[in-house]
Amino acid sequence: MKATRGLRSAACLLIALCVLAAGSVCAQDWPARPIRFVVTFPPGGGADLVARTLAEKLNRSLGQQVIIDNRPGGGTVIGADLVAHAAPDGYTMLLGTATTHAINASLVKKLPYDPVADFSPVALVAILPLVMVANSALPADTLPELIALARKRPGEILFGSTGNGSSIHLAGEMLNTVAKIHMVHVPYKGAAPALVDLLAGQIQFMFTTIPPALPHLKTGRLKAITVANAKRTALLPDVPTTAEGGAPGVEASSWNGVLFPRGTHKEIIARLHRELAIIMSQPDVRERLSTAGVEPLMSTPAEFTAFMAAETARYAKVVKTSGARVD
């Protein structure tokens, strides 16, 4: 009996060693096929721009195609949940955002994924300041004028967002709270469809990242009212901050980071981190992103983890104060 148990233990140990060895070989050979890069918004927005910029460079440096998979809807839950429950083999990754990895934790009651336990962070790569843009026909050119108009017409001013619970949505709710006004939120499945209705006058304004709005600001079809940032953005230097406009504390931004499903081999994470660090240091990448209103950066996995924890705590207070809820 003892001999039998000894043989079984030895067999189990041998199997475990083989599995570990196979995992190490797979990690060393990664990537051996195309990689799916999930974006929780439709094409045309700031997140999509960041993802496609990275994918274009990774295609060359990794020697495999990185395929953008736009999965909008569900307040970013659909795309994030898909990656959370994907095989941790290095062939599915997510462009995480403030919504997927900070806001949803306190906003969504039955979140089908755990923003911390279900993911392996790789790097924070971009910060996207938010600008409030309005239809050119709106009889308000400044934030104080908009607030005054909203007080005269409670419940009549409509503002769009990229979805319930997005940082863009919560920026509008923060303005409602700070200014003590009542404007109505209209959610969309991304910046592009929201901008279509904004240009058509179906909604009056929205907070958005700069990239999708910039062409319409240049043509004058939209006007910039304020930036929800502590300081003015270099791309729109004449646009005052929310604090300058009489709404201190209304600060929100979108951000992007790359994550794998939890359990992805550390060698794969390290390899992708090295490639991203090289990409984010390239002048053409930094210029492309900066010109579009995206602030490029690069963090370690540990720094990204700490950043998400701080953002989760910050937005939990915003959600509580605003009363926002997604069931």
pLDDT, tens only, 144-169: 999 999 999 999 999 999 888 888 99
Backbone angles phi and psi of 178, in degrees to 5: -65, -40
Beta strand spans in the chain (E): 35-39, 66-70, 92-96, 119-135, 158-161, 184-187, 205-209, 222-227, 253-261, 295-296
Rg (CA), the chain: 22
pLDDT, tens only, 40-55: 988 988 899 999 999 9
Distance CA 223, CA 138 (A): 9
pLDDT, tens only, 172-190: 999 999 999 999 999 998 8
| pLDDT number for residue 17 | 47
DSSP of 107-136 = HBTT-SS-TTTTEEEEEEEEEEEEEEEEET
Residue 280 CB-half CA count within 13 A: 23
pLDDT, tens only, 52-109: 999 999 999 999 999 999 999 888 999 999 999 999 999 999 999 999 999 999 988 8
- Its pTM surpasses 0.85: no
- 75/266: higher pLDDT: 266
With cut-offs at 50, 70 and 90, classify the pLDDT of residue 326.
Answer: low
pLDDT, tens only, 192-227: 899 999 999 999 999 998 888 989 999 999 999 999
| pLDDT number for residue 190 | 82
**Lowest-pLDDT range of 33-37, 135-139, 322-326:** 322-326
Residue 189's H or E segment, with its range, is none
- 23/156: higher pLDDT: 156
| pLDDT number for residue 203 | 97
| pLDDT number for residue 13 | 52
The residue with tokens 């996207």 is 128
With cut-offs at 50, 70 and 90, classify the pLDDT of residue 19.
Answer: very low
The structure tokens listed for 20 are 């570990």
With cut-offs at 50, 70 and 90, classify the pLDDT of residue 21.
Answer: very low
The structure tokens listed for 30 are 């990664």
| pLDDT number for residue 293 | 83
Q: Which domains does the chain have, with CATH numbers?
A: 31-128+253-322 (3.40.190.150), 129-227 (3.40.190.10)
DSSP of 141-183 = SSHHHHHHHHHHSTTT-EEEESSTT-HHHHHHHHHHHHHT---
| pLDDT number for residue 22 | 46
- 25/209: higher pLDDT: 209
pLDDT, tens only, 296-315: 999 999 999 999 999 999 88
Q: What percent of the chain has pLDDT over 70?
A: 91
Average pLDDT taken over every residue of the chain: 90
pLDDT, tens only, 277-297: 999 999 999 999 998 889 999
